[in-house]
Amino acid sequence: MEYLLTWNCNHLANANKRGHIRVINGRLGLTTPEIITPLQLFKEEKGP
């Protein structure tokens, strides 16, 4: 999975939480998908 799409900015798409999730997944030997909101995904698809 490359992306985890969420509107939950308080818990998942929060910059501080993303770091914690990466650390925990790393300790468990898991990869972490890019955690983004739908708006971020659409902005990325359109390009600059």
* DSSP structure string for the chain: --EEE-S-TTTTS-HHHHHHHHHHHHHTT----EEE-HHHHHHHHH--
Residues 25 and 45: their CA atoms lie apart, in Å, by: 26
Residues 46 and 3: their CA atoms lie apart, in Å, by: 16
The pTM of the full predicted model, rounded to 2 decimals, is 0.65
Residue 1 pLDDT > 90, yes or no? Answer: no
Residue 12 pLDDT > 80, yes or no? Answer: no
Residues 31 and 27: their CA atoms lie apart, in Å, by: 10
Residue identified by tokens 């300790």 is 27
